[in-house]
Amino acid sequence: MAESTQLQQAQLATILGPDPAPFQTLISHLMSSANEQRSQAELLFNLCKQTDPDSLCLKLAHLLQFSPAAEARAMSAILLRKQLTRDDSYLWPRLNPTTQSSLKTILLTCIQQADNKSISKKLCDTISELASGILPDNGWPELLPFMFQCVSSDSPKLQESAFLIFAQLSQYIGDTMVPHIKELHAVFLHSLGNSPNPDVKIAALNAVINFIQCLTSSAERDRFQDLLPAMMKTLMESLNNGNEATAQDALELLIELAGTEPRFLRRQIVEVVGAMLQIAEADTLEEATRHLAIEFVITLAEARERAPGMMRKLPQFISRLFAILMRMLLDIEDEPSWHTAESEDEDAGETGNYSVGQECLDRLAISLGGNTIVPVASEQLPAYLAAPEWQKHHAALIALAQIAEGCGKVMTKNLEQVVAMVLNSFQDPHPRVRWAAINAIGQLSTDLGPDLQVQYHQRVLPALAAAMDDYQNPRVQAHAASALLNFSENCTPDILTPYLDGIVSKLLVLLQNGKQMVQEGALTALASVADSSQEHFQKYYDAVIPYLKAILVNATDKSNRMLRAKSMECISLVGMAVGKDKFRDDAKQVMEVLMALQGSGMEADDPTTSYMLQAWARLCKCLGQDFLPYMSVVMPPLLHSAQLKPDVTITSADDNSDIDDSDDESIETITLGDKRIGIKTSVLEEKATACNMLCCYADELKEGFFPWIDQVAPTLVPLLKFYFHDEVRKAAVSAMPELLLSAKLAIEKGQAQGRNETYIKQLSDYIVPALVEALHKVCHILKKFIKFPSRPGLTCGTYSAQVQFCGDGIAKPDLGALRSPPKCFTLLTWDRACLLRVRGVSPIGMHESPNRVSLTGLSERYPILGRSGMKCCLISCWAPISGPLLDENQVRSIVEEIKQVITASSSRKRERAERTKAEDFDDEEKELIKEENEQEEEVFDQVGEILGTLIKTFKASFLPFFDELSSYLTPMWAKDKTPEERRIAICIFDDVAEQCREAALKYYDTFLPFLLEACNDDNPDVRQAALYGLGVCSEFGGIVIKPLVGEALSRLNAVIQHPNALQAENVMAYDNAVSALGKICQFHRDSIDAAQVIPAWLNCLPIKGDLIEAKVVHDQLCSMVERSDRELLGLNNQCLPKIVAVFAEVLCAGKDLATEQTVSRMINLLKQLQQTLPPATLASTRSQENECAWALSRISTAAVTFAVSTTVSPNSPPPWLLVRASKASKAKAKPKPAPSLSLSHSSHWRCFCTAAPRPWLFVGLGNPGDKYKGTRHNTGFEMIDAFANSQGIAMNTVHCKAIFGQGNSWKFGIVGFVGGVPVFLAKPQTYMNLSGESTGPLAAYYKLPLNRVLVFHDDMTLPCGVLRLHPNGGHLCHNGLKSVIYHFRGNREFPRLRIGIGRPPGQMDPKAFLLQKFNATAQGRIDAALQEGVNILKVVLSKGFAESARRFNSEQKYKHLRVETLPT
């Protein structure tokens, strides 16, 4: 070991010594394609970085400046950039100032000397990367002057380089560039308008577009409007000069602008779109140029979130674009190979034009919708169908299939015409037209099902059966079988069963066809038919299974591998359809064949492997525990597949001889900088399948999987950070809780081979940190994407062109270039959800603090709140759980995030103010700003919640951080701030005063004047928070507050004596004023006229609005009576009647007004009064005697509890309009109902109690009408009905487009009190996809915060009959939830009850599956689940959502199914 270390030290000394040759050799080896040589070079390079970073960087810089080899200079630029990138290996802070200065000088010198364009670009990347880290701190003051000097020079090369750097700095640190906006505008305008060099113009265009995107103010962006003509001129000049390569670069940049800032184009949209369509129509231009012009227009159409309706306002252009795309579909050749069907290439004869036309029709229809596209299609398609050319017939049918997804609703209304149009073409003389008609039926079966199946099965199925007889055209036969698959996926058994005799017999004939593609199509269709017909397929089992087994045994040639693989799939699905009893004997034979095949050793690229893994899993699902004996055979190859290493090849980007010449279609390439990376996707697919199957086995076998945990866990846990394939990571993540559950059940049932709970703890300690670390990494990726968003249409930008050298010799591409943000966000959600599941499954307390995860970069999951909101949301969720585990550095990181949130909020407010001044400001924009203001308030609410939690947790230890925040919080008290900001600022001080007590006295001089003034604020929310704080200060302020007691009494008197003090919106402030007055009486009696003030306080009692303060105040009253407080009782006990009346009212009003202990004390006092007062006194106070007797009569003789009967006056506002909260909330909540469509989370942190609980709105999602009754998609309706029936609530009222309950109601609403809690029940009648049109108005009408709106919906990700309660979440691709979220203004923070319905079988379309009815077995599970749901909903009403969800979810069997199975 010592010798090895000495050898390395000697090598390092040589490499970093004065002789440049060894270092040049090292760099050369880093570029080697030999893994061993490259790995050794990576090791030495990393050692250099650790031991002497200064010498390493200077060596790289020297090589960059002086090496004669261009490849070495390029690699030096890449490596130098990597060292100067702000990530885990960031070297700049470790370099001494001399090295730093030298590097900056050398880089700028190299830019001026570079004669190679590729190296110049890499130099620009390096300079930009370094500048992004040091320029904001004025660490490179020479750079910007140098860049402006380059732009003004006569050298096109320097001009281009400067613009490249400007472009990247705009991406990295755009804010730093904004102060130079005037100079940049002038530079851009001059270069775009006057430069003769096309490269300079494109670089300037790139810089302009990136800079526009970095501007947060619409006014700032508008300053660049005058550049748009010059930008378009750059494009058109390139085209006119025949320089299409430059034009394509310009188009790519403009596409980026259209996607990110479409409103920038609004004023000149007609000219810009017209020019693009002109380019698209120019047949003399290259296809790539025309395609990019089309992509620009499609991108604008898809940017409807940023520019809603902008393209729909240009119908003349939509019609013109549709015509262009239709003409592109005519670009197809009648290739002979298509007819011979010797290969599976269905695209034979199709051109690039044809493919682009197909894709863009689909995207256009989805983005603009049926109301816009169907009229255009109806106008143009008939002419194509009437034309004599087969290509036009073909184009019309293809177009019809392509637009069906986006136009489904409108096309369904015209189903007769659509179906007739397609079926007429089944008889067309040209086989490619017949193929297109069959293709259209297949697509329409998916997009317009099940309506098409229900209404036209008697016409479509015979037509498909006839098409299967077209033996002269085997490709048509095969496609008819595929279309049958699509049609049957949306079929219920009652539709399909009458046709099964003919269908199965035809498919069996096709199985004997000589064309392999026909056989494969028949196998796939047969599997789907079996899935859809379920138990009805048993009739055909004996006839079908011999054919399937024969193919499995005999299809042994390499050319038949896919045929054999599909036979495995079909057998396993047929077996699941007919059930274990029917399939058992054949299953044994099939598994013997599979075992033999598995043992024979298959080639690495054999597709059979993946199919076999899935077939084994289906067999396991079918046989259940009977499958356990085969696990010893299944698991070794499955683990081998799961452990496959990614097959990665690295070559030079300029080398076209390796990867591009490969015939392996499974290799995908990505170009990163000067490297091209080839990844063999077939290996990754096999790995992903294996990981999914491991998860499936653990899920299905439960404790039976225990013997394999020790091998599976070390295989899957490292894959939590496997970034080459999302499905691998997802499978690894979702398997973690299954492994823990398996171990838990095995130990509980004594099947753990002697292991005990210590094993679970060890397993969880192994899993949870890995999950947390994986979450860290995803957060890091997200941060990169926010900073460096990918460009549409490009593989990667120069900003992500780097390669990370891994210890295993594999060059791992920079993650930013390999992933799209939505996928990253999905993985992040997956990681977090699994982490929570793991914590819920394990019975042993986890010690890993969630706050140890990075708290930045997560907001993109919650676009409604933005980055700041997500930070707050995440911290506020985790801080209460694990606050005590935070160390000082972690608390500081949270505080720094809060500072950023507040700063960012101020910036957003300024931006919104600027937007209101824009010339195109309209009502739509006004509404948007209103929504954003509401979201901003929610962000501040979360800031307050976080700080409140930290203050409560750390108390006085947090005050140094509070001091840091003071400069951010103090401005929030100002009158020009929103009421919500002022309320939050007051509440934070309230928490400091209450939790820190004596340590907080030093802040009184600063904040008490603000607090006293706020006690009489116009806003009741602000008043309430201030009055609560005044009470806290009165209790803990001691001598500091004594001089202010007089002013405090005056402020309190103004609140209490106000004529509207007891109105609903003011009552919470009133109660807090009474409470504060009581504390002054208690703690500062010597500073007041007690004989006047205390009786005045008594006359305010009881208080009933703020139930928390009510308990405090009434307990104080009880104590004063017990000690016979003289001022309270008054002269000759004259106040005693009032005291007795208060006691009686408190006791009769309900236990919410006093604690159990206080109630007991009041009862004892009343008894004493009744027994001890002299008769004369009682006679003079007969009223209180009666009150005492009546109250005492309500007392149970068995206990000191009492019956409560809460009543509401018919003339008073419903008491539940006020908000309930926990003790921690107290006086900081809003006294009035939560605003319409509130963005609050579960219990609003500043909310208050009232005399009755706030209502719940239960909404079940589904489709109206008998046609949909009993379908899987209507389980939300069924849950509403089950709950209504259990409570005797009649659902016979219509309100807000929903079926509502009827009963003793207030404005359509309270359909019943369940356990004393008012409940609304609703079934929206808008159809599922428009559920929000009812749910949103309902929540707004009753002014309910979203945490009181519980939505019931079906969920395909849960097994049939499994329920889960969730406090929030995304839409899970559920259209009903999408609509609800949309009408909740994008807010996802509402609870939901997820009702598992299982996954679709095989390849069945989810839409068809959702609209099928349950079979008997599944219906039994659903019925049981509905009863469970009713029970848990009662618990939610009585115990609250959080506690109910935690307990209920841990009892439910939460599963993630990983195979395509027949749903029960």
Give dist(CA 628, CA 708) in Å, integer.
12
What Cα–Cα distance (Å) separates residue 818 from each residue in 439, 823, 824, 878?
33, 10, 10, 31
Q: C-alpha angle with apex 1454: 1452 to 1460, nearest 5 degrees?
A: 140
Residues 6+ apart with CB under 8 A from 486: 441, 442, 443, 445, 446, 1405
Contact 796, 671 (CB under 8 A): yes
Residues 6+ apart with CB under 8 A from 958: 891, 950, 951, 996
**Residue for token digits 């037209």?**
433
Q: How far is CA 13 from the centre of its chain?
A: 51
Contact 1142, 1102 (CB under 8 A): yes
Contact 1248, 1226 (CB under 8 A): yes
Whole-angstrom Cα Rg for the chain: 36
Residue 1273 bears catalytic tag: yes
- Give the tokens for residue 741: 């559950």
Contact 86, 799 (CB under 8 A): no
- Give the tokens for residue 275: 């020019």
Contact 713, 764 (CB under 8 A): no
- Give the tokens for residue 915: 């937007």
Q: How far is CA 632 from the centre of its chain?
A: 39
User: What is the DSSP track for 172-239?
Assistant: HHHHHHGGGHHHHHHHHHHHHHH---HHHHHHHHHHHHHHHHH---HHHHHTTGGGHHHHHHHHHHHH
Helices of type H across 1084-1106: 1090-1099
Return the biggest CA–CA distance within the chain: 118
What region, left, alpha or beta, does residue 1247 occupy, with left being phi > 0 and alpha being psi -120 to 50 degrees?
Answer: beta
Give dist(CA 1297, CA 1334) in Å, integer.
5
Q: Is 1318 helix (H, G, I), strand (E, B) or coil?
A: strand
Give dist(CA 978, CA 969) in Å, integer.
13
Give dist(CA 1447, CA 980) in Å, integer.
34
What region, left, alpha or beta, does residue 624 occupy, with left being phi > 0 and alpha being psi -120 to 50 degrees?
Answer: left
Give dist(CA 1046, CA 1041) in Å, integer.
10
Give dist(CA 854, CA 1068) in Å, integer.
39
Phi, psi of 1331 (to 5 degrees): -55, -30
Q: How many CB atoms lie within 10 A of CB 888?
A: 11
Contact 1199, 1217 (CB under 8 A): no
Q: How many CB atoms lie within 10 A of CB 32?
A: 14
Residues 6+ apart with CB under 8 A from 209: 167, 231, 253, 254, 256, 257
- Give the tokens for residue 1440: 């609250």
Q: Which residue of the set 393, 1273, 1295, 1374 is catalytic? A: 1273
Contact 821, 858 (CB under 8 A): no
Half-sphere exposure of 255 (CA within 13 A, CB side): 22
- Give the tokens for residue 1176: 């004369």
Contact 1421, 1464 (CB under 8 A): yes
Give dist(CA 886, CA 455) in Å, integer.
63
Contact 400, 422 (CB under 8 A): yes
Give dist(CA 901, CA 745) in Å, integer.
45
Give the active site residues: 1273
